[in-house]
Amino acid sequence: MQSVSKIVAEFAARPWMAVPETDLGPAAQVPTMLTPEERLFYHWLGRRVQGEGATVDLGAYAGGSAARLLSGLAISGRRFHVHSYDRFRSSRALWARFMPDEPLPDADDADLLPVVRRHLAPWQKHVTLHVGDIGEKQWTGGPIEILSVDAAKGAVLADHIAEQFFPALVPGRSILVQQDYLMSVQPWLCAQMVRLRDGFLPLAHVPKVGLIFLAVAPVTEAALTAAKVGDLTDGKLMSRVREAAAWHDGMVPRAPFKAMLEQIKAHPGVRLGWQMRQARAPG
């Protein structure tokens, strides 16, 4: 097992930036919301896997993140399997934006499963699709080596994800990708992680908004209770955002945290990302 200092140095060097896009094979053609750097990162992360735990992808949409993880895992030389979670439904607006080459469905809440299965067909024996509300799912699959979180769009769901998946992370080995960590409309993510900082070491910021962590200690029930964000007052949520800004000083600019504070002020009591996106009502 690599030492923590070697893992820190490895991620600081950003080796994923040297990965040619051609190395991704068919994964490069799978539609995704990921930025170009994130696409390379996911492939590289799969390639560096040690094979001592599952890979879990929370928030798959059309399979873009899963495909890039799988493309890397497939050339890692290790045994691998990806568990990909989503409702696998899409609005017409998102469909048209991210999958313009696919026939547009007639109505919103369209079924994405046939599209996702086609996208992931090259690795179909190595992927399990978990369909439905992640807030109702439980993890019983043993240790997790890679956990990608792109589904914590609300504070209560963020608590559920942490409770179900974080205890399966292996100290000194497991990588947690918080895909939306610096999004101004999801301030509960940094508020949660800053209270779990004894168990996680920040490794890298992958623009635009992702932050990568190494698990360094077991995530206990007591730690999860102390880190809960679903019932925080606005004041306590803002206090934790400020804590997180200080925690990440030197790795992340202060601007994203300032934007989070502004969103909390503009949307008191709101704990869902899509609601925070809405303009503040007059008066």
Q: Give per-residue pLDDT as tens, 152-195.
A: 999 999 999 999 999 999 999 999 999 999 999 999 999 999 99
Is residue 282 included in any domain, yes or no? no
CATH code (residue 59): 3.40.50.150
pTM above 0.85, yes or no: yes
pLDDT of residue 281: 44
Q: Among 16-20, 29-33, 258-262, which is the least confidently predicted range?
A: 29-33
The domain in which residue 108 lies consists of: 4-277
Mean pLDDT of the chain: 95
pLDDT digits (tens, 9 = 90+) for 245-273: 999 999 999 999 999 999 999 999 999 99
- For residues 68 and 30, give the distance between their C-alpha atoms in angstroms, rounded to a whole number: 9
In 89-189, the DSSP E strands lie at 89-90, 110-111, 127-131, 144-149, 175-178
In the chain, the DSSP E strands lie at 54-58, 82-86, 89-90, 110-111, 127-131, 144-149, 175-178, 200-206, 210-215
Is residue 283 included in any domain, yes or no? no
pLDDT of residue 86: 95
What are the beta bridge partners of residue 84? 57, 129
Is residue 15 included in any domain, yes or no? yes
Q: Among 6-20, 69-83, 99-113, which is the least confidently predicted range?
A: 99-113
Query: In the predicted model, what is the mean pLDDT of residues 53-60?
Result: 96
pLDDT of residue 165: 98
Structurally, the chain folds into a number of domains equal to: 1
Is residue 95 included in any domain, yes or no? yes
